[in-house]
Amino acid sequence: MAVTLRLMRFGKKGNPFYRIVAIDRRKKRDTKYIESIGIYNPMLEPLSLKIKKDRFDYWKKNGAVISDGLVKLLKSGKPTFIKKD
């Protein structure tokens, strides 16, 4: 199964927030996902980008492709990596 890490949109019109999810590459944006690994809220000042580091590394190590939008966010926004306790 080809897995990709990408954004899934939630919220209402004019007030979006996104989950960062691991999902089968062939599925549409808002379908069932494998695992949620973080959140992104563009409406907060400063931007809120939180990612579970261990799960992100796991999926990346196992060949998951990171979407273009998520790559831009990781470069421009300062992500907060959440470590497992």
**Tens of pLDDT along 31-46?**
889 999 999 988 887 7
Q: Which residues of 48-61 are buried (b: 16+ CB within 10 A; e: fewer)?
A: ebebbeebbeebee
Q: What is the pLDDT of residue 44?
A: 83
State how far the Cα of 24 lies from the Cα of 1, in Å rounded to an integer. Answer: 7
Q: Which pTM value belongs to this model?
A: 0.83
